Amino acid sequence: MRINERNPVATSTFSSESMTTSIRSLDDDPTTPPKSSLPLSTLFIEDCVYRGEGNANVVIALPQERKVIRFRKSLPNASSSDSGKERIKQEVEFVKFVAFCFLGQYTQIPEILRYDAKDIAKLSEAIRSLRSDRRRNKEIMETYATKFPDYTFLPIKFDTINFQTSKTFCVEIKPKQGYLRDIDRKFQKCPYCLTQYYKLRKKMITCRSSYCPFDLFSGVEIRMKSALKELLKSPQNNLKIFKDGVIVYDQESNSNDLECVLTEWFCNSINSTNKGYIDKFCNLICTVLLRPFISEEFKFYTFPTHELCTSIVEQDTKTTTYINPDLIAKAKKLLYFAGEMCNLKAEILPNNSVLERILHMQRLPFVSSEYVYNTYLKFRSWLTDDIIYSNLTNTIEFNEYRISYLKQNKSLNQVESPQALRQGHIQTFAKNTTTSNKSNVNDDSIGNKHINEPNENFLISKSILIPIEKNNFRYNNVINNEDKVHYNERETYFYVNTESILCLQNYLLFSCARDCSILMSFREINPNTISSTIDDNIVQLPDGLSFVYNIRISDIDPKSLHCIEKHRQRDIDVLNSVISLLEQEFIIKNQNSFEK
């Protein structure tokens, strides 16, 4: 049994017993499971195309529906007891209540599906031969999955347009980290370019890429085009080109493949060389990346609850560094003598362009990587992903409620009292912000203990309650004068201040934005038949070629709190790789000089 990644191949069919397909409108609330168990969805292998996979998910395309299904992967002994139900619910809530606030219509809320375990096993067997060896350590173990529009195609609403060609091309770019706080600027190179040393040392790549995310995020045309050309030279896992939903250029391809793809893409261009095609490609992508997406949804992204108090910057100067200073100094010295440096200068991107939206999430303040890691160390025994994201989504829900309330009352002056605003939402917020449904603290106590009266910005969360064991030996290691404990006859609650929670939340949001993907789909259109109704979705090149385009953001899953530990170790491994490879290079250079 096999699924061909380029053309679906008919295979043996599944059991003929009837299964109910779960179909949910995006207007429904996909985060609320029905009262009964979610009905099983039908999975026909002959309709599936293996699209690819990353570290966390396998992506299966359904070309006839223009949809993709993402199945979570896990180690065989690490599958969840509920088949992924709660995790999927949390992911969808994250997209709906968090990511959408920052990215608006660049992202869409997925459907939740549930499959039969036998069908999942058949799918896993069918795609096994198509999977990379290094990805096979994890398998699809959960029966819950998410279904998204297939962004490699144009939306169905464009089907009535008179196109010049039947082919739809799509470019997927993982832009990576385009912003670095001053306090984290310890080197002349950006984190992505430093990570190239690690990949090279681990033989994940054969040579370092010259692509720099800071060039792509610069908004400066010449730097952006330079970054795109470097991505074309060395795609790694950061660039893919699709034709009608099929990958035609990626890290496994060569320069001849690229030339064939661009020649077909810009086939109506007159007298173009390969260099000319690359220039057209860069012009097209740059234009789309910088074009604003006008939408009211973006009005909700500037919540004051995401603004970290600047007073903790002073505290950060006393934070213990998690990387040996000697290691940092040695890497910095070697990079200096090697002449390795990135242009970290930032420019202003067009408001509401896709790059500006992503960069806005990356700029969420968390002070520094050291502060994040030390905060994580302090609270990791009690904090969980559920606590972090429940607090975050409920805070954002409250702000949406606030905005809606203010719209209804026209102005803040017409609000009779702050208490009137909080009554409609506060009980749900308070209950969900606490970490356990088993809490014996009543709502009034919660309101008095950890909910502030809303100020002019309606910042309502001052701290949250974490249940702990009274005899927990780690308790005494973290409590200080600023920490407070609420004693109850049955349970003890540890108060975690909002600044600490916010610091971790912002870092996780930053990490999410750092790993997201941008997908831009294009189809050439006759410039003489352009309708005014689609002007916002038309891009025209200097030589007269016109394209309808669509742009979306994917891979915006909530990051686990424990990724902070993983990132710390990666940073250390990267510096060790920088030192090791540069020392080798200097030895080789010295030997060559001696021989001469």
Summarize pLDDT for 434-448 with one digit per residue, the tens: 433 333 333 333 333
Q: Which of 13-22, 338-347, 372-381 shows the lowest mean pLDDT across its residues?
A: 13-22
What element of type H or E holds 549?
strand 546-554
Nearest to 287 by CA among 540, 517, 546: 540
Q: What separation in angstroms does the CA of 209 have from each of 120, 185, 238?
A: 37, 21, 11
* The two three-digit tokens of residue 234, written as one number: 């060395």
Q: Is 98 helix (H, G, I), strand (E, B) or coil?
A: helix
pTM score: 0.82
CB within 8 Å of 434: residues ≥ 6 apart: 441, 446, 464, 465
- What's the number of CA atoms in the CB half-sphere (13 Å) around residue 460? 27
pLDDT band at 213 (very low <50, low <70, confident <90, very high): very high
pLDDT digits (tens, 9 = 90+) for 164-186: 888 999 999 999 999 999 999 99
What residue spans of 255-324 are helical by DSSP H? Answer: 255-265, 274-290, 312-316
CB within 8 Å of 222: residues ≥ 6 apart: none
CA–CA separation, 378 and 334 (whole Å): 34
**Is residue 563's pLDDT more than 50?**
yes
**18 or 461, greater pLDDT:** 461
Q: Does residue 219 contact residue 290 with C-beta atoms inside 8 Å? A: yes
Domains of the chain: 1-149 (3.30.200), 158-297+517-559 (no CATH)
CA–CA separation, 11 and 121 (whole Å): 15
pLDDT digits (tens, 9 = 90+) for 452-466: 333 333 333 455 555
Q: What angle do CA 242, 243, 245 make, to 5 degrees?
A: 70
